[in-house]
Amino acid sequence: MIMWGLVCGRLLSGLFQKQIISPRALNKTCSLHGPVRWMATCRPAPLLRATPCRALIDELITLKAYHLPRNSPVTMRARMTCEDGHLWQSVSHYHTDEDGVVDLTKHPSVGGSYVGCEPMGLFWSLQPAPGGKQGLRLRKKHVETPYTVDVSVLEGHISPLNSSRDEQISRERELATVSLQRWYMVPGVRKIEIRQNRVVGTLFLPPGPGPFPAVLDLWGLARGLVEYRAALFASHGLACMTLAYFGHKDLPGPPKRISVGDSYFKAAWQVLCDHPQVCEDRIAIIGISFGVFVALRIATSLSVNPSCVVCINGPFCNVNKLFGEDGENTDEEQKHWNSNDQGYVSFKDFSLPCNVPPENFIQIEKVRCPLLFIIGEDDLCCPSIENADEIERRLRTADKSQLFTRVSYPGAGHLIEPPYAPTCHTSVWASQPTQSMIQWGGNLKQHAAAQKDSWPRILTFLERNLRGEDTA
């Protein structure tokens, strides 16, 4: 009889909560089976909140989960599918507090993809899911659309998914989820394709009437046009033209050789200067990797006057003489390539100053504008430290040391990008027929810290030299 009363009580409790039966009718019914003691067990459903849920890629997103089991283990998980259809994910382990809350701005992760209090750790620790394609590098191709990231909180501490069984377990343990968007373009940014005077590029203009200070954006030997950093600069109020000079279908010559020279870069500079929405006397250059070599070549060897130059992990010398007035170049010399035990390639010796003929150095003594050098001390692709040391020495000898600002990051690798982008330690180098794996370097957490710190420094440096003011 007692068991029947308990069963009856649970069934009728459900009816009561759904307001199918009233308390008076309930008491009358239960009196037939003996007394039943009632206790409220209803509590709010778990809730996961992202603030904001639509943000720029470099903007902090606050993640906070409520109404969870108190003082209990939970897993925070981020998942997204990149434009090539590959799944990326990160997981991190937390313990809820006495109120059943996990706040990523206050609470430390105790395991998983990262440890410590890292409000944006779920984003910068994203990696290809186990069992997926190896050697991936996350690069946004279509800047008009966002990355959509699904963040979930799950019961207990779980590992990254690597099987359909794990997927089933995670669905059973999911307590709450939220979808958010991460953008490179704010509303109102205008994207303009440039095909003028043989120049191949994309110009991004900020919202508003202009004219605007501008940046010429130069990537390394990545094929085609890389647009996402230029779009982000425009979202911060600077016009920015990203320039193709290697591996683009609209450029002359073989697709895997640099077939443009000084005349091409001078024409690109002029296209940017002549645009009616650009302040022609307020133009900077930013380069990463081999783009640093190009940026310094433009600033010192062409009859142009950039307001400043930002260099991220790149050389000012090269074993090959790559540029001339007619755009001649020579084949890359693989004798300077090095490989580790896994066969992954490093190009550090390719631009070590001690390996380079004197005639292949940029004449850095001719520079007339401020230089900002961002250096990752764990760069496995370029001898950034050695190049910066030599640049600093030569500028000191030329009595121009005041033009040189150096920021160095222990543990950071080659690909220092805008904040919260995933660290890429190695990836496939698609420019080579053999699809070699390149070593970029970088400790996950230290590289993320370098990206977070360097980006506002770059923006402040540009604002100071283009507008004569610092950013807030």
Catalytic residues: 289, 379, 414
Q: What is the CA radius of gyration of the chain?
A: 28
Contact 449, 439 (CB under 8 A): no
One-letter amino acid at 459 equals: L
Q: Are 442 and 124 in contact (CB under 8 A)?
A: no
Tracing tokens 């059943």 back to the chain, one arrives at 100
* Structural contact between residues 315 and 382, judged by C-beta atoms closer than 8 angstroms: yes
